[in-house]
Amino acid sequence: MAATVPSIPCKDECLLRPGNTNCGGCGMSVGLTMLGRALADAGDTCTLVIPACCGIVTAGAFPTTSYGVPTIATTFASSSALASGVASIRDLNGESGQVICWAGDGGTYDIGLATLSAAAERNENIIYICYDNEIYGNTGGQRSSATPAGARTTTTPFGKTEGKKDMMSIMAAHRIPYAATLSIAHPEDFARKISTALSMKGMRFLLMHSPCPTGWKSEPADSVELVRMAVASGLFPLYEVYDGDGYCINAHPDDSDPAEYFERQRRFDDDEIDFNATRKACSERMRYLELLAEEFPHARD
Ligand SMILES: Cc1ncc(C[n+]2csc(CCOP(=O)(O)OP(=O)(O)O)c2C)c(N)n1
């Protein structure tokens, strides 16, 4: 029998334990707690696979760890490849349990994209969750291809000139069984989507908007409110794509003004943001998703 990594039951909130080193108001920490609860509710087990990112620093220094499940640290580019191997060996051994990649946007949109695309094309039996804080947070806040236009980072001190990469469309184009966006401001929707992903086989991709007070230059207490505003204004749509062509929108924007979202983060220079262009881009993007959901609907049970 091939060597494998043990998988242990998730007890309530055991995924991220006290003693972790994350910043106050870190969206990734909230997301890990929500993921842990959803796993516990499903009575499921998991092994985490985490590339270089804040999520692997969370664990603390050897030999201690704040993760309550077996966790494998990988190189930046290889998390999907390593997770594929663990999942394959587990399947060969007839073992149950999820293999979950937990990666930042740098490790997903940029450096890990080749192995992620390859795993998606092979429809590997893994769940891949990207917590998208829109920067390379762990190394001081450099821009990534997930950084939105206008955001100041340590490598774009005058504001990024390019827009955010559309990672959901890229993953949906692989026609994987499930791709969905997550917001920690919508906990019920979050839990349902994790539960949906847990009930499926094959490649499942989840994209979580992850506030980062350190990089976003925002108040830690504002984190959940900020991502709530992003959903309400259409900046971060909540939707699912089944098999690459079954669309479902989970929250319709309430036409609230995205301006406050930008104004409450000091990474943006309000004088430099073209709010009219931003409002137009939000409503056009939502209209595009609504048309897809009308033309290619996925009817949920
Ligand atoms: C090939 C490679 N390049 C650079 C690094 C240095 N590095 C470690 S973590 C990190 C940033 C990770 O950013 P992201 O994936 O967005 O996660 P976050 O830090 O924001 O949690 C970088 C650049 C590395 N470990 N390996």
Q: Measured from the CA of 54, which atom of ligand 1 is nearest?
A: 21
Number of structural domains in the chain: 1
Ligand 1 pocket, residues with Cβ under 6 angstroms? 52-55, 76, 104-107, 111, 133, 135-139, 144
Distance CA 68, CA 104 (A): 20
For residue 236, what is the domain's CATH number? 3.40.50.970
| Nearest atom in ligand 1 to 111's CA | 1
**Distance in angstroms (rounded) separating the CA atoms of residues 281 and 235:** 9
Q: Is residue 111 part of a domain?
A: yes
Backbone angles phi, psi at 185, to 5 degrees: -85, -5
User: Which pLDDT score is estimated for 167?
Assistant: 98
Q: Is the pTM of this model over 0.75?
A: yes
* Residue 3 pLDDT: 46
DSSP 105-154: HIIIIITTHHHHHHHHHTT-S-EEEEEE-SSBTTTT-B--TTSPTT--BT
The single-letter DSSP state of residue 98 is E
φ, ψ of residue 246 in degrees (nearest 5): -115, 105
Residues near 170 by beta carbon (within 8 Å), at least 6 away in sequence: 117
Tell how far the Cα of 261 is from the centroid of ligand 1, in angstroms. Answer: 26
Residue 239 inside a domain? The answer is yes
Residue nearest to atom 1 of ligand 1 (CA): 76
- Report if residue 301 sits inside a domain: no
Atom of ligand 1 at shortest distance to CA of 103?
A: 15
Spatial separation of the C-alpha atoms in residues 227 and 209, rounded to whole Å? 7
Enclosing domain of residue 185: 8-295
In a domain, 75, yes or no: yes
Q: What is the reported pLDDT for 17? A: 86
State the burial class of residue 281 (Cβ atoms within 10 Å of its Cβ: 0-12, 13-18, 19+): middle
Mutate to test the pocket of ligand 1, among 29, 101, 136, 216 (most ligand atoms within 8 A of CB): 136
**3 assigned to some structural domain:** no
Q: How far apart are CA 89 and CA 3, in angstroms?
A: 8
Tokens 């590997």 -> residue: 124
Distance 238 CA to ligand 1 centre (A): 26
pLDDT of residue 8: 52
Of 196, 170, 200, 198, nearest to 248 by C-alpha is: 196
Nearest atom in ligand 1 to the alpha carbon of residue 215 is 20
Q: Which atom of ligand 1 is nearest to the CA of 107?
A: 15
pLDDT, residue 7, reads 54
Q: Which two tokens stand for residue 31?
A: 């997301």
Q: Dig out the tokens for 9 from the structure.
A: 């039951």
- Distance from the alpha carbon of residue 252 to the mean position of ligand 1, in angstroms: 34
Nearest one of 76, 97, 134, 115 to 6, comparing CA atoms: 97
Q: Which regions of the chain are under pLDDT 70?
A: 1-13, 300-301
